[in-house]
Amino acid sequence: MNMHINQNRNSYVRKFFALVSEGKKFPDTSILLITHLVPGREETFIQSLSEISPISVIIPKPNSWDAQEIQRVSSRYTIFWWNRQQSHKIDVISPELLKVLLSSKQKLIILDIGGYCAPFLNKLSELLRGKLIGVVEDTENGLQRYLKLPNVPCPIIHVARSPLKEPEDHLVGHSCYGNLI
């Protein structure tokens, strides 16, 4: 029964994203996605994003991922791992990650959850030589990290304070908590 409910939910979510993204395709822009990899994320949110723009790299949030979801996602997308402590150092831009981002002729948008890219945003922008279009930040904590930057090399758009974000906060919290019991 639970499987049936999840299938219906995912079907509704896919229809929602299809309506939102209808006719919007940006093949000349790729996405660096930092996200929760909780159950259902790939078949709803990630898949819908990839229909709008190619996803260059996915970086799972360290404390909110599911092993089966990682397996599904890694079969279709390039995954890099890091933690918050590593993101405070510029060397977190590993040679492999930088190679993926530089090899593309596409422009880049960062979709961040938690301000992970804030400490090295200026260096990354410099290395990408004008290909970085901007950052979309999802959380208040991440927004605060970006607001502390003395110089911002690209637009930072946030949804941290949007009332439309409240249902997502609840669902992510439920997914993370549900995986612990």
Would 105 be classed as within a structural domain?
A: yes
Average pLDDT, the chain: 83
**pLDDT value at 30 more than 90:** yes
Q: How far is CA 141 from CA 10, 78, 158, 161, in A?
A: 28, 26, 11, 11
Would 34 be classed as within a structural domain?
A: yes
**What is the pLDDT at residue 15?**
78
Would 18 be classed as within a structural domain?
A: no
**What is the pLDDT at residue 98?**
84
Domain that holds residue 143: 24-80+90-180
Cα angle for residues 101, 107, 33 (degrees, 5° grid): 60
Cα 152 from Cα 168, distance rounded (Å)? 27
What is the number of alpha carbons within 13 Å of residue 103 lying toward its C-beta? 8
Pairing of strands 107-112, 29-37: parallel
Highest mean pLDDT among 58-72, 90-104, 164-178: 58-72
Q: Which of 61-65, 100-104, 133-137, 163-167 has the lowest mean pLDDT?
A: 163-167
Cα 79 from Cα 73, distance rounded (Å)? 8
**pLDDT value at 29 more than 80:** yes
Domain CATH code at residue 157: 3.40.50.1480
Mean pLDDT for the stretch of residues 151-174: 80
**pLDDT value at 93 more than 50:** yes
Would 111 be classed as within a structural domain?
A: yes
Indicate if the alpha-carbon torsion angle 6, 73, 181, 83 is positive or negative: negative
The burial class, CB within 10 Å (0-12 / 13-18 / 19+), for 47 is middle
Would 56 be classed as within a structural domain?
A: yes
Would 117 be classed as within a structural domain?
A: yes
Is 59 in contact with 33 (CB distance < 8 Å)?
yes
Number of domains in the chain: 1
Cα 11 from Cα 119, distance rounded (Å)? 38
Is 84 in contact with 116 (CB distance < 8 Å)?
yes
Would 6 be classed as within a structural domain?
A: no
User: What's the pTM?
Assistant: 0.81
Is 29 in contact with 101 (CB distance < 8 Å)?
no
Cα 65 from Cα 74, distance rounded (Å)? 12
Is 37 in contact with 68 (CB distance < 8 Å)?
no
Would 2 be classed as within a structural domain?
A: no
3-state SS class at 91 = helix
